[in-house]
């Protein structure tokens, strides 16, 4: 059995985390990761029903389309948040090779975040919402989630301060990422009468959570994984980590400016946001190069590490194509003037949000829940098949939405045809989107089942 190997901050192999050496925070982190996988499976089912409802308006459903869409968008934010918390606790304790400051606080935080997330989803299912896209739950529940993030930030900071000399860049980066999750969510717990202020703060979650806070937490996990799997030496991956962290903060803060112009900000934000967005692809390109060099010099023999790499490479692919290149293209002012608010935006959102974030969180959750096990060949092939279905489904959905959006832009925005007439022309592409969503949901459920079976075999891991 190949156990989880940890490298110390000096770059040498320190010790193997065996059964008696697992920390309490790592045990609790499995709860976060397993809950995230369940919500991930739920999201694809809800999304498939919503896509079908868009094609068949009279499709019977207990929840109206607008609230179903709100649940889908809420899940798109909440399950990566819960999974990220589990990943951070697991990999920070592994990086520092010591227990978290307060494991009891980690356990309390889990029940708190699950309560508030369930409250958001439950009230939306009961048709009780706030009407704010991506943040359509009642504000009081986001106050609760902010409280859990405050507890996590406190716990992680105290953990780092316990031994200042041995703080690793990966541990520090993940901690800063969690702190940014808190700081960017806090303003969204307040009601603003000014619509420009309201929209601007909303993008701090919709855009900056993904482009900055989650980038930092995922980067820390990726750095740890590359060292563990031998794909890159610690010194090399930490140089990449410094650059990634710097560009994530700068690129995230200023790159969000391409959203600001359309809600009433000065014109220079549009130019600044578009230019800064160019640099965000640099660390991703460097990661591809390191992966290529690492695979040439190192043969990964563990099926567990191979499947994790499949998920990470999926994230890198969609990050470059769907998030960076496509995102940059549609933010060009002369293009965005016509495409803004069309299915092109939806296609970009699907590819970018799940590509740059979803796959990375899935990789981390799988790695955490599979600790102490090694998939056999049949299980590994089933996992790879699930990843392929996820990718094919995502590409099919994204492509159908992009084609539909291009036609929609030309017929509606340029020629001036009636909106509903254009919508009826787009139905074939929306049906393709449904098929892509079904393929994605199949891969989702297959991967979730694989992870569940893995979790079952490692439940007694101590």
The arithmetic mean of pLDDT across residues 325-335, rounded, is: 81
Question: Highest-confidence range of 44-58, 182-196, 219-233, 392-406, by mean pLDDT?
Answer: 392-406
Whether residue 10 is predicted with pLDDT greater than 90 in this model: the reply is: no
Supply the pLDDT for residue 12: 35
CA 3/CA 36 separation, integer angstroms: 24
Confidence category of residue 21, pLDDT binned at 50, 70, 90? low
* Cα–Cα nearest to 114, from 83, 88, 138: 83
CA 26/CA 33 separation, integer angstroms: 11
Whether residue 68 is predicted with pLDDT greater than 90 in this model: the reply is: no
pLDDT digits (tens, 9 = 90+) for 152-172: 999 999 999 998 888 899 999
Question: Highest-confidence range of 140-144, 207-211, 259-263, 448-452, by mean pLDDT?
Answer: 140-144
pLDDT digits (tens, 9 = 90+) for 48-65: 888 888 788 777 777 787
The arithmetic mean of pLDDT across residues 116-145, rounded, is: 92
* Cα–Cα nearest to 413, from 347, 344, 343, 339: 339
- In this structure, which topology does domain 22-457 adopt according to CATH? Cytochrome C Oxidase; Chain A (1.20.210)
The residue ranges of every structural domain in the chain are 22-457
CA 183/CA 304 separation, integer angstroms: 35
The arithmetic mean of pLDDT across residues 73-81, rounded, is: 93
Please state which of the ranges 43-47, 105-109, 143-147, 184-188 shows the lowest mean pLDDT: 43-47
Q: Which residues pair with 16 in a beta bridge?
A: 5
The arithmetic mean of pLDDT across residues 234-247, rounded, is: 89
21 vs 412, residue with greater confidence = 412
Please state which of the ranges 24-38, 232-246, 271-285, 353-367 shows the lowest mean pLDDT: 271-285
Confidence category of residue 8, pLDDT binned at 50, 70, 90? very low
Entry pTM: 0.90
pLDDT > 70 in the chain, percent: 95
Confidence category of residue 278, pLDDT binned at 50, 70, 90? confident
Confidence category of residue 33, pLDDT binned at 50, 70, 90? very high
CA 325/CA 410 separation, integer angstroms: 22
Supply the pLDDT for residue 460: 57
CA 69/CA 51 separation, integer angstroms: 9
Whether residue 11 is predicted with pLDDT greater than 70 in this model: the reply is: no
- Decide: 343 and 402 in contact? Cβ < 8 Å: yes
Give the angle subtended at the CA of 78 by the CAs of 152 and 205, to the nearest 5°.
Answer: 80
pLDDT digits (tens, 9 = 90+) for 408-450: 999 999 999 999 899 899 999 999 999 999 999 999 999 999 9
Residue 17 region, left (φ>0) first, then alpha (ψ -120 to 50), else beta? Answer: beta
- Decide: 56 and 135 in contact? Cβ < 8 Å: no
Supply the pLDDT for residue 123: 95
* Cα–Cα nearest to 88, from 308, 307, 319, 364: 364
């Amino acid at each position: 059995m190949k156990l989880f190997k940890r490298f110390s901050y000096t770059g040498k192999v320190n010790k193997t985390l065996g059964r008696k050496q697992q920390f309490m925070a790592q045990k609790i982190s499995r709860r976060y990761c397993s809950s995230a996988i369940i919500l991930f499976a739920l999201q694809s089912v809800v999304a498939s029903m919503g896509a079908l409802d868009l094609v068949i308006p009279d499709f019977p459903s207990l929840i109206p389309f607008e609230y179903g869409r709100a649940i889908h968008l809420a899940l798109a934010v909440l399950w990566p948040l819960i999974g990220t918390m589990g990943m951070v606790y697991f990999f920070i304790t592994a990086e520092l090779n010591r227990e978290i400051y307060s494991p009891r606080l980690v356990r309390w935080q889990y029940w708190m975040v699950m309560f508030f997330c369930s409250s958001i989803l439950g009230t939306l299912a009961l048709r009780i919402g706030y009407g704010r896209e991506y943040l359509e739950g009642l504000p009081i529940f986001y106050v609760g989630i902010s409280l859990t993030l405050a507890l996590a930030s406190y716990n992680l900071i105290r953990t780092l301060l316990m031994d200042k000399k041995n703080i690793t860049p990966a541990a520090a980066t993940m901690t800063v990422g969690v702190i940014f999750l808190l700081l960017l969510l806090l303003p969204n717990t307040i009601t603003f009468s000014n619509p420009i202020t309201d929209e601007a703060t909303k993008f701090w979650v919709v855009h900056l959570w993904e482009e900055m806070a989650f980038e930092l937490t995922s980067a820390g996990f990726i750095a740890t994984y590359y060292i563990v799997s031998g794909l890159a030496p610690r010194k090399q991956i930490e140089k990449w980590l410094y650059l990634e962290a710097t560009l994530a903060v700068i690129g995230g803060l200023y790159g969000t400016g391409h959203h600001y112009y359309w809600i009433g900000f000065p014109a220079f934000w549009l130019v600044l946001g578009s230019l800064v967005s160019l640099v965000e692809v640099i660390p991703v390109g460097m990661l591809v190069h390191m992966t290529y060099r690492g695979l040439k010099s190192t043969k990964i023999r563990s099926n567990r590490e191979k499947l994790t790499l499949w998920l990470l490479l999926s994230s890198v692919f969609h990050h470059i194509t769907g998030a960076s290149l496509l995102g940059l293209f549609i933010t060009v002012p002369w293009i965005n003037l016509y495409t803004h608010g069309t299915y092109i935006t939806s296609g970009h959102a699907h590819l970018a949000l799940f590509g740059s974030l979803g796959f990375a969180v899935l990789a981390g959750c799988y790695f955490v829940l599979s600790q102490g096990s090694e998939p056999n060949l049949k299980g590994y092939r089933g996992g790879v098949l699930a990843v392929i279905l996820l990718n094919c489904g995502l590409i099919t959905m994204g492509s159908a939405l992009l084609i539909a959006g291009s036609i929609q832009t030309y017929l509606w925005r340029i020629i001036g045809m009636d909106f509903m007439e254009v919508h009826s022309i787009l139905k074939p592409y929306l049906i393709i989107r449904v098929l892509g969503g079904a393929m994605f949901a199949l891969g989702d459920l297959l991967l979730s089942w694989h992870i569940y079976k893995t979790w079952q075999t490692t439940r007694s891991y101590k």
